[in-house]
Structure 1
Amino acid sequence: MEIVYIKTPMGIAKITGDESGVASISISDEGVISNDIPSVLQEAVQQLTDYFEGKRTNFDLKLNPKGTDFQQKVWRVLQNIPFGKTMSYLELSQKLGDVKAVRAVAAANGKNPLWIVVPCHRVIGSDGSLTGYAGGLGRKMWLLEHENPSSQQSLF
C-alpha cells in the first residue's frame, strides 16, 4: 500500500492506495508533507488539488475502500449527492430503501474512509443542522461553503 501526505487548505491529507485503487483519504492537523508522490496516487493528488482550487466538482478515481457490504452500499449512494447540494440522513435512508435504517446509515457515513471523494460532508440533519463529521464540524462547514459559496450582494 502506497501513502502520500499533501497539504490542503484544511490540513494535511493522507492518501493511501495501490493499483487496485484509492483505499483511504483522511485529514489531520499534523503530518509531514511528502516529497514524492507514488505513481498510483498521482491522479488522486491532482484531483484533490483541483477540487480545492475550484477546478473540479466531481471525482473520477478508481476506489478501493474497505468496509462491509452495507457500508459500501451507503458510500455508493453518497457519491451521487451532487456538488453543492446536501441530503439528510433520513433522505439517504430513503434512497437505500429503509427509512428505519437512519442510525445504521449514519454509522456507515461516519466510517467513510474516503474524505471528500465520497462526500459524507454533504449529509446533514433533517432540520438542516450540521451534525457529526469525523473531520470536525468546522471542516464540514468549510467544505459546504467551498462547494456552495454565498454570494453577498452589494449594498451600494
Structure 2
Amino acid sequence: MRQYLHTPIGVLEIHADQRKLRGIRLAAEQTEEMPNPITEKAAQQLLEYFDSARREFQIFAMPQGTPFQHAVWSKMSEIPYGKVTTYGQLAEAIGQPTAVRAVANAVGQNPLLILQPCHRVVACDGLGGFSAGMEAKRALLRLEGVEISENQAFSEKFLFTFV
C-alpha cells in the first residue's frame, strides 16, 4: 500500500503492508496511490508533526534491515524531539564505539524518514549528511527548535547524550 503526503520538505511516499508501516521516504515520482489505514495514520501523524502538534509517533513499523541496522535505528529512535547526537555517540550507545562509519551508513539507510529521526544525528563537526538533502535536514531541525549556527555547530543545550 502506498500514499503520498505533501510536506514542507517535499512529497513523502509512505509504504505499508496490511499490518505494519514499512517505509517513509522522499518521493522521486508519484505513482498510483493505494492507501490503507496504516498509511493514513502515518500521514495524519506526519501532518501533526509538521504543524508542531506532535513530537512522538505512535505507529507500528517494521522496516527491513540487518540486525546491526535495527540496533542503530532502535537507539536512534531514543533521541528526543529538539535534540541532536553525533554518529560517534550513537556508535558508543550501541556498544560499537569504533564503528562510527558503519553507524553513519546505517543512519543513511534509514527507511523511515522522520519517524526514526535520522535528521537528529549529526557529525561531530557539523550537520553530516541526510538522504533527503541538507536543506530538508536543516528545516526539520529548525522545526524542532534546534538552533544551527553559521558554522553548523550546535549549542550544548541541544546535544543529547545516551544514558
The answer, yes or no, to whether TM exceeds 0.5 is yes
What corresponds to 2:76 in structure 1? 78
Question: Which string of whole-angstrom CA distances, capped at 9 and with x for unpartnered residues, describes residues 101-126 of structure 1?
Answer: 10110010010000000000000111
Matched, 1:143 2:130: no
Percent of aligned positions that are identical: 37
Deviation at 1:29?
A: 6.3
Does the aligned pair in 2 maintain the 1:11–1:30 contact within 8 Å? no
C-alpha separation in 2, matches of 1:146 and 1:25: 18
C-alpha separation in 2, matches of 1:79 and 1:54: 18
C-alpha separation in 2, matches of 1:20 and 1:30: 25
Does the aligned pair in 2 maintain the 1:12–1:33 contact within 8 Å? no
Secondary structure of 2:99's match?
Answer: helix
What corresponds to 2:152 in structure 1? none
Does the aligned pair in 2 maintain the 1:75–1:112 contact within 8 Å? yes
Secondary structure of 1:99's match?
Answer: coil
What corresponds to 1:11 in structure 2? 10
- The one of 110, 116, 119 aligned to 1:118: 116
Does the aligned pair in 2 maintain the 1:11–1:29 contact within 8 Å? no
Secondary structure of 1:12's match?
Answer: strand
What corresponds to 1:67 in structure 2? 65
C-alpha separation in 2, matches of 1:112 and 1:56: 21
Deviation at 1:53?
A: 0.6
Query: Which structure's CA Rg is the greater one?
Result: 1
C-alpha separation in 1, matches of 2:28 and 2:52: 22
C-alpha separation in 2, matches of 1:134 and 1:20: 26
Q: 5+ residue gaps in structure 1?
A: 151-156
Does the aligned pair in 1 maintain the 2:83–2:146 contact within 8 Å? no
Deviation at 1:98?
A: 1.6
Matched, 1:132 2:137: no
Q: 5+ residue gaps in structure 2?
A: 148-163
TM-score (normalizing by structure 2): 0.85
TM-score (normalizing by structure 1): 0.88
C-alpha separation in 2, matches of 1:97 and 1:142: 31
Kindly tell me the number of residue pairs found equivalent between the two proteins: 147
What corresponds to 2:26 in structure 1? 27
What corresponds to 1:153 in structure 2? none
What is the aligned-residue RMSD (CA, Å)? 1.6
- Partner amino acid for 1:130? L
